[in-house]
Amino acid sequence: MKRVSLALILAAFATQAAHAQSQDKPKDRGTLQSIKDRGSLSCGVSQGLPGFSAPDDKGNWAGLDVDVCRALSAAIFNDPNKVKFVPLSAKDRFTALQSGEIDVLSRNSTWTLSRDTSLGLNYTGISYYDGQGFMIRKSLKVNSALELNSASICVQTGTTNEQNVSDYFKGNNMKYELIAFGTADETVKAYESGRCDVFTSDVSQLYAERLKLAAPNDHAVLPEVISKEPLGPVVRHGDDQWFDIVRWTLFAMINAEEYAITQKNVDEMAKSSKPELKRIFGTDGNLGEQLGLTKDWVTRIIKATGNYGESFDRNVGAGSKLGIARGLNKLWNQGGLQYAPPIR
């Protein structure tokens, strides 16, 4: 019995020693370290949606979603251009993230319960509050979605739009014919060629896709918004540090707008003695290091992309071809929904 007890005691000591050693070992490299080792961030974007993620004729990507990735690159590398943009269809976007082909998906993707729980993914925040709508030719003289009974509707597969259309038309006792296509470009071309009466998508996308039509002014977006479509960046489950970095990069852009920190004044604002600004700029505390970044992580982000409002206006708002009103995307203290937790 004594021998058995001694063996058990020795085994317990060995287990404790092994546990202590494992505690001393560095954690798995994780997404952040993989990005650093690679020397660039891999960002999943759309196949070309003006205002959100689209390349110009020289292959330079721009847009609200693109700015999130450039902000991440700036926070990590102090360089907003160390990003590989991977264009993805709606059908393939989540698979690319699950497989590790991309580090983050920043591609007008709606946050839903099923996506949050069944795909092994996490939404990190809401970069754009949207809703689904309808675009139609003005020549049809339709002024409301409630006048679309028996209409044929073009929609892209792999999106939340199909179910939303079904819910809306059934809820209003209307008939419809759904014609689905694999990509956004195919959907728009089908609509423009007359294969369907209506094109449905998120309202922001309708405004963006209308710019591609031969005669944009011949088409109108109807006033009804039939769903909630909160769009935001997505990461894989299982890496809390990377989740925090992506989330707080977006929050940094929103907080910067609230404190009137801009690309032009960021260096001057960083000299402020106000406690909240000292925390934001890293002159007080070590919040950046807690994320695995540097003290000046917010400064890097704002120098690269500007604050949230600057990015919005430049890409989809008053300073862009889309000219979309801020609406729900105004800051919370200006009547909108954009609200970021404090950096403290």
Sheet holding 198-202, edge to edge: 176-181, 151-156, 198-202, 132-137, 219-221
Q: Residue 178 falls within a domain, yes or no?
A: yes
For 75-104, what is the mean pLDDT? 97
Q: Residue 134 falls within a domain, yes or no?
A: yes
At 134-184, the pLDDT tens digits run 999 999 999 999 999 999 999 998 889 999 999 999 999 999 999 999 988
Q: Residue 59 falls within a domain, yes or no?
A: no
Within 10 angstroms of residue 303's Cβ, the number of other Cβ atoms is 17
Q: Residue 42 falls within a domain, yes or no?
A: no
In this prediction, residue 309 carries a pLDDT of 98
Task: Give the rounded percent of residues in the chain with a pLDDT score beyond 70.
Answer: 92
In the chain, beta strands by DSSP E: 41-45, 54-55, 61-62, 83-87, 104-105, 121-123, 128-130, 132-137, 151-156, 176-181, 198-202, 219-221, 229-231, 234-236
In this prediction, residue 15 carries a pLDDT of 41
At 228-243, the pLDDT tens digits run 999 999 999 999 999 9
In this prediction, residue 28 carries a pLDDT of 56
For 117-130, what is the mean pLDDT? 97
CA atoms within 13 A on the CB side of 229: 21
Q: How far apart are CA 69 and CA 233, in angstroms?
A: 9
Q: Residue 143 falls within a domain, yes or no?
A: yes
The identity of residue 292, as a single letter, is G
Cβ neighbourhood burial of 197 (10 Å; 0-12, 13-18, 19+): buried
103: part of which helix (H) or strand (E)? none
Q: Residue 173 falls within a domain, yes or no?
A: yes
At 29-43, the pLDDT tens digits run 799 999 999 999 999
Q: Residue 180 falls within a domain, yes or no?
A: yes
How high is the mean pLDDT of the chain? Answer: 92
Q: By the 8 A CB rule, do 320 and 311 touch?
A: no
- Residue 7's pLDDT band (boundaries 50, 70, 90)? very low
More confident call, 182 vs 297: 297
CATH number where 215 lies: 3.40.190.10
Q: Residue 234 falls within a domain, yes or no?
A: no
Task: Give the rounded percent of residues in the chain with a pLDDT score beyond 90.
Answer: 88
Structural domain boundaries, residue 184: 130-228
Count of domains for the chain: 1
Q: By the 8 A CB rule, do 248 and 117 touch?
A: no
Cβ neighbourhood burial of 313 (10 Å; 0-12, 13-18, 19+): middle
